[in-house]
Structure 1
Amino acid sequence: MKPMRDILAAVALVGLALLSLPARAALQITDDRGDVVNFERSPQRIVSLLPSLAETVCELGQCQRLVGVDRYTNWPASVKPLPKVGGGLDPNIEQIVALRPDVVLMATSSRAGDRLRALGLKVVALEPKTHADVQRVMLKIGQLLEVPDAQKIWRAIDAAVMAAAQSLPASVRGTRVYFEVNPGPYAAGESSFIGETLTRLGTKNIVPASLGPFPKLNPEYIVRAAPDLIMVGQRSVDGMLQRPGWMSMRAMRAQHLCVFPADESDTLVRPGPRMAEGARLMVRCLADKAPGAKKAGVRP
């Protein structure tokens, strides 16, 4: 048997070895760029540079952690008084630093991440583009904020989208839809989260997945495709009326056209927790304006 002195010496050496190991982060997140970001604790001061990410933070019941948002974030109402730090592509770096955030949430497409990291800030880049992305981002932010029921919240959103689809009159299923995201024209293709919602509603998107999620189209393409129904935001509709050949489309002549005011348009084009509300807006549009609904006498 070893003498007690040797045993104590061995224990001391093990203790010194453990102390020399680098401290393990309490929380570790891998973002959509593949970057691993370590936190000693869940961040309490958050700056968000993408509306859908701020909305997700709030949907998870953590709005009080937001200390700054981009200029486009306007929901829920509690975020409106927060400091605006520019846009996702042109943020005010000095203002962000002054807010002393524990983390900055931004889109992967933002070019500001490297500058913020160089200044010592932690950055998590997340960019939802599909329904699966919205779920993944919600769970990722739930992990970051240590919200245990993020999966339950997502299931409620997904179930509400399904309920909206089931409420759609059978007479309008199969309607061929063109959804314009913004002037350009930029459309919501089949592979976008908007296109996925339209598919779940049983409609047909005139913009195939092969063109990408949000392709810029030649206006003549839409004229040739001759959609049954057009969905567009109020911000885009004026220029649409001036496009050559557009008034010859049956959808335009017969007013099979839904024009969404700014607040509804924001709901529709943001891939976040309000997807179910977006689905209900699309159902209302189809029930009110689709050719099949008119024939069946359906009311919204």
Structure 2
Amino acid sequence: MLIGRWLSAVALLCWAGALHAAGLQVTDDRGVVVSLPQSPQRIVSLLPSLTETVCELGQCHRLVGVDRYSNHPASVRALPKAGGGIDPNIEAIVALKPDVVLMATSSRGVQRLEALGLKVLAMEPKSSADAQRVMGKLGQLLEVPDAQRIWRAIDAGVMAAAQSLPPGARSLRVYYEVSAGGYAAGTQSFIGELMARLGVQNIVTPDLGPFPRINPEYVVRANPDLIMIGARNVHGMAQRPGWSGMRALREQRVCVFTAEESDVLVRPGPRMAEAARVMARCISEKGLR
């Protein structure tokens, strides 16, 4: 009996040792399996939503460098900057000696960094489901077992924001301009999904994709009840052909988000509940008066 127990204990220890020896394997959004000997202790993050997720998982201390746009939480502002998501500073990243680099799949630097022998985990959430999946992937990478608990809290916060609005919100037709050049939030984007959960109607049709570039005439024809736009993009909006005659501008039903609010709204990560509250406040103050 004692010998049997001893053998079982030895087998268990060997199994645990084999698991440890195998290290970590995480599959990124490219379908690439990234293998690491252990959970990374030195991380460079080149996408603000990924930076915020790492910190929300309680692992901000592992970040040794970020992109120029990562600014939340405040502690990351003091970290070395390694360029942007589209134009990463390869030399600066290599000098930081990261165990892994987190970046967008669309970044031009992925293959260059891999060619230099660095581990790259490429993830680019565009929908709420993407954001939830990325939360789980980073939880796996960082060995944080309760990542989905954080997501459940986000989901509950979005639901509470939706419940704060009266039924009248469901009749509102809304245009959300995400960035300069007329890029809008489509129904398939995480912003469009938040709009749907808040009960408003998106004037951008599903066939146009998550973040389509919209012709100004398209918006004029749709004649939305409410426009959401960031302060960075609002300059000259009233001078766009035909826009001054739209109901939203005539009745001043335009929410102009501050730079800080826009950062919250356009990042599919742990502040999505806050984003829902910002949009709900806009709908209450401008759309339902």
Structure 2 equivalent of residue 4 of structure 1? none
* Aligned equivalents of 1:46, 1:102: Cα separation in 2: 6
Shift of 1:174: 2.3
Which aligned runs of 4 or more in structure 1 are off by greater than 3 angstroms? none
Residue correspondence of structure 1 range 71-150 to structure 2 within 5 A: 71-150=68-147
Deviation at 1:24, TM superposition (A): 5.2
**CA deviation after TM superposition for structure 1 residue 242, in Å:** 1.9
Please identify, of 135-144 and 171-180, the stretch whose mean Cα deviation from structure 2 is larger.
Answer: 171-180
Residue 173 of structure 1 and its aligned partner are, at CA, apart by 2.2
- On the 8 A contact 1:104/1:124 being kept in 2, the answer is yes
User: Counterpart of 1:192 in structure 2: which amino acid?
Assistant: S
In the other structure, the counterpart of 1:297 is none
DSSP-derived class of the 1:238 partner? coil
1:76-132 Cα offsets, whole Å, 9 max, x none, are: 101000111111111110100000000000001112111101111100001101010
| Residue of structure 1 aligned with 2:219, choices 206, 217, 222 | 222
After TM superposition, give the deviation of residue 25 of structure 1 in Å: 2.7
1:237 to 225, 234, 241: 234
Q: Tell me the distance in 2 between the aligned counterparts of 1:35 and 1:158.
A: 29
Query: Equivalents in 2 of 1:133, 1:139: separation in Å?
Result: 10
User: What's the TM-score, normalizing by structure 2?
Assistant: 0.92
- 1:151 paired residue among 144, 148, 152: 148
* SS across alignment from 2:101: strand
**1:82 is matched by which residue type in structure 2?**
L
Matches of 1:102 and 1:240 in 2, distance apart?
Answer: 45
**Equivalent in 239, 250, 254 of residue 253 of structure 1:** 250
Q: Secondary structure at the match of 2:38?
A: coil
1:53–1:105 CA contact under 8 A, matched in 2: yes
Alignment pair present for 1:201 and 2:204: no
Measure, in 2, the Cα distance between the counterparts of 1:172 and 1:38: 48
Kindly name which structure, 1 or 2, has the bigger radius of gyration based on alpha carbons: 1
CA distance in 2 between partners of 1:30 and 1:217 (Å): 34
Q: Which residue matches 1:280? A: 277
Aligned residues: 271
In structure 2, list runs of 5 or more residues that go unmatched: 1-17
The corresponding residue for 1:34 is 31
Correspondence for 1:6? none
Q: Secondary structure at the match of 1:258?
A: strand
Q: Contact (CA 8 Å) 1:51, 1:73: kept in 2 or not?
A: yes
Deviations 1:253-280 (A, max 9, x none): 1000000000001100111111100000
Aligned with residue 43 of structure 2, among 46, 49, 53: 46
Q: Deviations over 1:34-67 (max 9, x none)?
A: 1111111100110011000000000101111111
Contact (CA 8 Å) 1:183, 1:239: kept in 2 or not? Answer: no
Which secondary structure state, in structure 2, belongs to the residue aligned with residue 184 of structure 1?
Answer: coil
Q: Secondary structure at the match of 2:125?
A: coil
| Structure 2 counterpart of 1:58 | 55
Task: State the distance in 1 between where 2:208 and 2:23 align.
Answer: 43
Q: Is the CA contact (8 Å cut-off) linking 1:27 and 1:144 kept in structure 2?
A: yes
| Percent of residue pairs bearing the same amino acid type | 71
1:174 matched to 2:179? The reply is: no
